[in-house]
Amino acid sequence: MSFDRSLLATFAETHGPVARIVVAEVQGSAPREAGTAMLVWTDGICGTIGGGALEWRAIAAAREQIARGTESAVQRLPLGPALGQCCGGAVTLVTEVWTAARLAELPHSLPGFARRVEGEAEMPLALRRSLAHARRAGTLPRPTFSQGWLIEPLAAEPRATWIWGAGHVGRAIAAVLAPLPDFDITLIDTCESRMPESLPNGVRGLIAAEPARLVRHAPKDAEHLILTFSHEIDFALCHALLLHGFSRCGLIGSETKWARFRSRLAKLGHAAAQIDAIACPIGDPTLGKHPQAIAVGVAAQLLKPAQASQSTKKGKRLVTGA
């Protein structure tokens, strides 16, 4: 999890002051890991820190904090009989109240957001070193709570994910990915009748008689999943995407289909290393061929970018269970 300034700003503009509750520290067994967060406002919530009595108490305290106008508060709670829980561990919760004006004052260029949430201590040296290392390495710091200071990674821009084909598999993948905050999903098809009557929140639908002509509008670092009803449309998309560039690209189909595509793409002048940037087949074959099973397999790989991709000249390959 990370500090999502954009999401907070959206809720603050809609609902007024919003309390963000983050699990800052975990000792022993707990319902959720450090860095997990939820939002609370006067008459609603978004997300969860694990449910149960812990969450109920945290929500009540957050609403009282909003009413008082207190910017930050820290709670240390054992997960035992007093909360009706038997996890046996303990959690530290940090609750901060955010307004649109307060969010506008935050810096934009740092990989991590560090602030003092209790006490008067200066930032510990270990946290300073963690932030400095993240800047040098171009990485994000881990959520850390120490001596009243909290560090969280700042949320990156959502990953542009273009799903070509609104059939059973395309719809299933869109539905699985839509609730996740890391994805900005576009679902494309050639015909309105193939689009679902209602799209999941956060999914944008596009209709194009010739989908390959839309490729030039995709971000260069987008991820693409090609799942249309037509092999010729699939092939045209592969060709257009290899010319355009992408982060990762997966094509649904058999090894025979991919062998034919590889041969045709090579004849169009694409180098073998470039063609290898497209993964085919996609998903985890051990899960079966049901659309939902394929969607689960694809989503699992997309959620593991470090292990699931390998660098190539034109992009990164979406490795499957094949």
Q: What is the CATH number of domain 159-318?
A: 3.40.50.720
Gap between the Cα atoms of 37 and 5, Å rounded: 13
Model pLDDT for residues 238-287, shown as the tens digit of each residue: 999 999 999 999 999 999 999 999 999 999 999 999 999 999 999 898 99
**pLDDT higher than 90, residue 30:** no
What average pLDDT does the chain have? 88
> Where do the domains of the chain lie?
5-153, 159-318
**pLDDT higher than 60, residue 117:** yes
**pLDDT higher than 90, residue 85:** no
- Kindly indicate the confidence band of residue 88, based on its pLDDT and cuts at 50, 70 and 90: low
SS3 91: strand
- Kindly indicate the confidence band of residue 142, based on its pLDDT and cuts at 50, 70 and 90: confident
**Alpha-helix residue ranges (DSSP H) falling in 16-96:** 52-68
Gap between the Cα atoms of 265 and 280, Å rounded: 14
Model pLDDT for residues 43-62, shown as the tens digit of each residue: 999 999 988 888 999 999 99
Q: Give CA 115 to chain center in angstroms.
A: 24
